[in-house]
Amino acid sequence: MRITGITIRNILRAHAQIKERIWYTEEKAYRYAKFFVTPANTDEWKKISEKCTKYVILFKIIFYYGGVLILIYQDLISGMERLGSTKRDICMHGIGISPEKVHENVIIAPWWEPSYIPDIGTAEYLSESDFPSVKVWNITSDTAEMTYIKAGIGAPVLMEAILTLGVTSCQQIVFIGSVGALDDNIGIGDIVIPEYSVCGDGASRYISSDSLNNGDIFGEKAYPNTDLFNKSKKVTERICKEKNVKWHLGRTFSIDTVFAQFIHLDEILNMGCNTIEMETAASFRAARLADIPITALFSVSDNTVINKSLINSRTQEEMEYRRYVRRELFPKIILDIFGNKNVVSLSI
């Protein structure tokens, strides 16, 4: 839920409906304010948050508005802490390493391991989490230190890993993985950067609201961080031009199934989507909730609309081209994104 300028004046009235209040610094108040308010209204929200902070209490940004209870990250953590878990416990269970081992720069992938992009740097394998699909490496290159997480396929495991990063020092995330094209102008092996991802998964509803009855967000768009998205576009455009590789902006649909997706493709196309995958809608939402900037970088694995789906008709030449682009371009793009830490802000 994002609040417009027309309704922002009602926020101050909402405190009467709040069940609890907590203390916030002005900086944190502003960060949470930006989470809910459209960019055109952030100055107005800042004045409101500063005014509330002046009175020492800023009402908690969980409130009933229009019948929907908004969820913030601390409530997820508090839900575990009240049952005896520590932040270290949360991190060890979620990604298999302690919080202090996680670098500020994080690469997260459903399936690829660092060997898929060997020029990214020297990888040190750390450990496996309680979930067998999750593996973690720390990577050192000439320009950056990174933590690399292979989380497993599907929205739930990616969401778990990204939410876990909220208790670490992670400052920015690059999601990398495969995407299917739904546009005959997008070729196998091309690079796609998603502008948004449409929620077609079930995991996202658990972090969209404090109430499961009000948490159905199927069909809603989730967005990457604005600054990191713009930076990844700029970097990708330059490197792809140098290497004569095509890249595209994606309007992605995140789905929970490969087998059952094909019967729904016409409806997905009618939503305006030109790519399809399984994780980024939940990943973008989880990263926003955890207050971590995120962007995504896709490699096109298939194109159903030209009869080159995951289960038929892709040529050896197309697959070799895809491996070349992933191996040669992805490390350069990722390292360039991570190379300048001053570009990314918490704007959403």
DSSP strand E in the chain: where? 64-65, 68-69, 105-109, 122-128, 135-140, 145-150, 172-181, 191-200, 221-222, 247-255, 275-277, 294-303
CB count in 10 Å sphere of residue 239: 18
- Structure confidence at residue 28 (pLDDT): 44
Domains, the chain: 1-70 (no CATH), 88-339 (3.40.50.1580)
- Structure confidence at residue 141 (pLDDT): 96
- % of the chain at pLDDT higher than 90: 70
Summarize the confidence of residues 27-32 as an average pLDDT. 46
Task: Quote the pTM value.
Answer: 0.80
Residue 315, burial from CB neighbour count under 10 angstroms (0-12, 13-18, 19+): exposed
SS3 content of the chain, % helix, strand, coil (to 5): 45, 20, 35
CB count in 10 Å sphere of residue 16: 9
Confidence class of residue 324 from pLDDT cuts 50, 70 and 90?
A: very high
Residue-wise pLDDT for 229-271, tens only, equals: 999 999 999 999 999 999 999 999 999 999 999 999 999 999 9
In the predicted structure, residue 155 carries a pLDDT above the cut 80: yes
- % of the chain at pLDDT higher than 70: 76
- Structure confidence at residue 63 (pLDDT): 38
- Structure confidence at residue 23 (pLDDT): 34
Least confident range of 53-57, 80-84, 158-162: 53-57
Confidence class of residue 50 from pLDDT cuts 50, 70 and 90?
A: low
- Structure confidence at residue 47 (pLDDT): 57
Confidence class of residue 161 from pLDDT cuts 50, 70 and 90?
A: very high
Residue-wise pLDDT for 181-192, tens only, equals: 999 999 999 999
3-state secondary structure of 150: strand
In the predicted structure, residue 210 carries a pLDDT above the cut 50: yes
Question: β-pairing, 122-128 with 247-255?
Answer: unpaired
- Structure confidence at residue 211 (pLDDT): 79
Q: Do residues 150 and 135 lie in contact, with contact meaning Cβ atoms separated by under 8 Å?
A: yes
d(CA 27, CA 20): 20
Taken in order 28, 198, 186, 311, is the CA torsion positive or negative?
A: positive
d(CA 251, CA 14): 35
- Structure confidence at residue 18 (pLDDT): 38
